[in-house]
């Protein structure tokens, strides 16, 4: 057997090889015994193994043989978890299986680092209520169970649940002057058992909201972008995962590896196994149910109702997918022609990521329904490889056709860059020790996607603005600020840098002007001629007004590509009642204070710049006394 091993990353295997009492070996040569399964099975009864895969057809056949791992095989990963019986079954089909270590047991209780769905929903409601100008919760539809007036599990338990609203968090600074120039949509939990993905979605919401006014790049991002985050796009399925963790028979205390939604209305559904198994569970695979290429001319789905990849009775038959598609269409326009070979234009706006786990860490690029390249393959790959610089994930096209999937729908119908990202991990319920690293490794990727969502196919080719610095960070009005940055095109096309520019805005201001309309920055060495250029400028602060300002920097390469902004903040100071630093307290200052108070009464936003009583020291509250303080200083000349 002459098979090529697709190992992905070796980090996981390297760790596992240190497990005592288990010999590890490479792939077995021709006519030589393969690595045996240990005589004494690990307490978990499960092993990490690698399988030699020589072709896309091998991967497709293995996905049918081992349905729990179809996404791993699609993504080119060959490190999975099998029992001794499964190893024997795979070897009986002629594949070389190498045991590399003991795998963890399926949790015998709900893992402490993962929130239950009800707790996630409660957290989101409370977090949104605490940040009303940053988060708007939108009910975009109902789960299948909710459309049925509730669901009841098969007899004899007859456990009932009402179903769930489908909720998306719209995250943006609602008070910014606008307009918003880019929209990014990301969702977790479409495959219910992949429970790290909602935790990542939650952490991304926290990063954005808690970063406003603290991180200059998050601040301008939420002033100019709209970010849409769904914690769980398959809440009924998630209820089934949690149901398995019950203690009454047939619930073993182990969360179930439930993948699909909970639709049991399709003929034959009630003949599926109960409790569910990897080869038999009712419901529809929602990552096979999208309208685009649901027909699957090349296969990539199952019509067997109990199979994990059952595509459903018709395109977008499931209310979760109908609502998903309708909502994304409502925020991102269709920008691609109807033909399979119609490219989307370079100025496409919008971006979508559909989160999954687990593999060695892979970014999956459209197409999935065919192994042929899409008409925007160059741009889609450029973005994927750029994202991989933040987390070291692999970039992969599907090894075999997968029809009706999310990334194909979003790119195929709307023309936007759309990806499945398979998180690194050690199981569908990744170990709690790994979860913080999984999340921190992915947050820069999501932040980058939001950053370039205004014109992703263009921005990816423009240089990065890095290490933006403003010195000093606080100056009296009229004093200069030295602005520096590095413009770097080495990961974006590797062309010489041609120019750089900056804009100065207040948090909440309207977006800066078009590319090429900012204030030029100079090359520190005097000439723009390298793929990496340090740039400098002197920022005049006269007329900027008291408070925080953002210096927003971007670069241009010799190919005419403008990159995304990067920002740094600095503070301008002057006499406390001279809010606009005009050298005299006048009617404008009184009006600014009054407008700020009105905004505070309306939206609850406290800005310390306008907390001016007690001689400018403030008292931690914003009220009429502050406006009166400005008025009491009317006519004072400050220079």
pLDDT surpassing 50 at residue 11? no
The helices-and-strands tally (H runs, E runs) of the chain is 16, 22
- 634 falls in which pLDDT band (50, 70, 90)? confident
CA proximity to 354, closest of 313, 307, 320:
320
What does the alpha-carbon distance between residue 486 and residue 500 come to, in Å, rounded to a whole number? 10
Residues 151-191 have pLDDT tens digits of: 988 876 678 889 999 999 999 999 998 899 999 999 999 99
- Let me know if the fold of 117-459 is the same as that of 464-573: no
Per-residue tokens: 511? 């977006």
Residue for token pair 């008292």 = 619
Beta bridge partners of 170: 136, 228
Specify the pairing of strand 225-230 against strand 362-365. Answer: unpaired
pLDDT number for residue 19? 32
pLDDT at 15 over 50: no
Residue 104: how many CB atoms within 10 A of its CB? 16
If pLDDT is split at 50, 70 and 90, which confidence band does 34 have?
low
DSSP assignments along 485-541, one per residue: EEEE-TTTT-PPEEEEEEEEE-TTPPPP-STT-SEE-EETTS---SSEEEEEEEE--
Token pair belonging to 359: 């593999």
pLDDT at 65: 86
The secondary structure of 295-348 as a DSSP string is T-TT--SB--TTSTTB--SSTT-SHHHHHHHHHHHHHS---S-SSTTPPPPTT-
Closest CA to 421 of 383, 459, 374: 383
State residue 344's pLDDT score.
Answer: 98
Tokens (6 digits) for 124: 């989101």
Coil vs helix vs strand at 86: helix
What pLDDT shows up at residue 500?
98
Side by side, which strands form the sheet with 464-471? 464-471, 481-488, 532-539, 522-523
Residue 84, judged by CB atoms within 10 A of its CB (0-12, 13-18, 19+), counts as middle
Distance CA 452, CA 217 (A): 12
pLDDT digits (tens, 9 = 90+) for 239-281: 999 988 765 555 667 888 999 999 999 999 999 998 898 889 9
> CB–CB of 458/351 below 8 Å?
no
Q: What is the pLDDT averaged over residues 40-51?
A: 78
CATH number 2.60.40.650 is the correct assignment for the domain at 464-573: yes
pLDDT attached to residue 36: 58
Domain range list for the chain: 11-102, 117-459, 464-573, 587-632
Residue 23 in this model has a pLDDT that exceeds 70: no
Q: State the architecture of 117-459 in CATH terms.
A: 3-Layer(aba) Sandwich (3.40)
Q: What tens digit of pLDDT does each residue of 396-429 get?
A: 998 888 999 999 999 999 999 999 999 999 889 9
Q: How confident is the model at residue 21 (pLDDT cuts 50, 70, 90)?
A: very low
Residue 365 DSSP class = E
pLDDT at 40: 56
Which pLDDT score is estimated for 16? Answer: 34
């Amino acid at each position: 057997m002459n098979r090529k091993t697709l190992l992905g990353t070796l980090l996981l295997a390297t760790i596992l090889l240190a497990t005592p009492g288990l010999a590890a070996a490479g792939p077995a040569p021709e006519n030589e015994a393969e690595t045996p399964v240990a005589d004494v099975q690990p307490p978990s009864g499960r092993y990490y193994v690698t399988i030699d895969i020589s072709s896309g057809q091998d991967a497709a056949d293995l996905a049918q043989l081992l349905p729990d791992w179809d996404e791993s095989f699609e993504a080119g990963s060959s490190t999975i978890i099998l029992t001794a019986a499964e190893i024997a079954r795979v070897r009986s089909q002629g594949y070389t299986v190498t045991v590399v270590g003991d795998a963890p047991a399926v949790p015998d209780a709900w893992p402490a680092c993962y929130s239950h769905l009800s707790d996630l929903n409660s957290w989101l409601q409370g977090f949104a209520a605490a940040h009303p100008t940053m988060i708007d919760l939108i009910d975009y539809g109902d789960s299948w169970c909710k459309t049925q007036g509730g669901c009841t599990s098969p007899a004899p338990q007859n456990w009932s649940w009402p179903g769930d609203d489908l909720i998306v968090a719209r995250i943006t600074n609602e008070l910014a002057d606008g307009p918003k120039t880019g929209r990014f949509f990301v969702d977790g939990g479409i495959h219910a058992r992949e429970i790290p993905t909602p935790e990542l979605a939650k952490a991304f919401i926290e990063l954005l909201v808690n970063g406003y006014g603290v991180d200059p790049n998050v601040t301008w991002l939420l002033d100019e972008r709209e970010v849409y985050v769904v914690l769980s796009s398959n809440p009924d399925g998630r209820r089934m995962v949690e149901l398995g963790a019950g203690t009454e028979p047939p619930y073993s205390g182990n969360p179930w590896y439930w993948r699909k939604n909970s639709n049991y209305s399709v003929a034959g559904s009630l003949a599926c196994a109960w409790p569910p198994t990897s080869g038999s569970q009712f419901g529809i695979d929602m990552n096979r149910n999208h309208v685009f290429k649901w027909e699957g001319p090349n296969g990539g789905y199952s019509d067997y109702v109990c199979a994990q990849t059952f595509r459903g009775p018709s395109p977008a038959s499931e209310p979760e997918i109908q609502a998903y598609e309708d909502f994304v269409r409502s925020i991102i326009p269709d920008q691609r022609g109807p033909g399979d070979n119609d490219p989307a234009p370079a100025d496409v706006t919008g971006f979508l990521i559909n989160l999954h786990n687990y593999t060695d860490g892979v970014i999956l690029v459209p197409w999935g329904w065919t192994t042929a390249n899409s008409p925007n393959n160059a741009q889609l790959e450029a973005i994927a490889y750029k994202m991989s610089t933040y987390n070291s994930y692999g970039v992969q096209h599907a090894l075999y056709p997968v029809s009706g999937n999310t990334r194909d729908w979003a790119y195929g119908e709307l023309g936007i860059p759309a990806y499945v990202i398979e998180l690194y991990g050690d199981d569908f319920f990744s170990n709690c020790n790994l979860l913080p690293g999984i999340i921190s490794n992915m947050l820069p990727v999501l932040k980058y996607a939001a950053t370039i969502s205004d014109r992703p196919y263009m921005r990816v080719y423009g240089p990065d603005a890095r290490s933006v610095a403003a010195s000093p960070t606080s100056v009296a009005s009229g004093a200069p600020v030295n602005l520096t940055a590095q413009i770097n095109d080495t990961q974006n096309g590797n062309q010489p840098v041609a120019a750089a520019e900056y804009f100065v805005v207040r948090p909440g201001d309207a977006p800066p002007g078009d590319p090429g309309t900012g204030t030029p920055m100079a090359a520190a060495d005097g000439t723009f001629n390298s793929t990496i250029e340090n740039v400098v400028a002197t920022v005049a602060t006269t007329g900027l007004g008291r408070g925080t300002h953002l210096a927003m920097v971007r670069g241009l390469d010799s190919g005419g590509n403008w990159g995304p902004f990067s920002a740094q903040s600095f503070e301008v100071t002057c006499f406390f009642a001279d809010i606009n630093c005009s050298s005299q307290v006048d009617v404008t200052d009184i009006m600014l204070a009054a407008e700020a108070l009105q905004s505070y009464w309306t939206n609850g936003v406290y800005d310390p710049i306008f907390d001016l009583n007690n001689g400018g020291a403030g008292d931690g509250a914003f009220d009429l006394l502050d406006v009166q303080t400005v008025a009491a200083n009317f006519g004072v000349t400050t220079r």
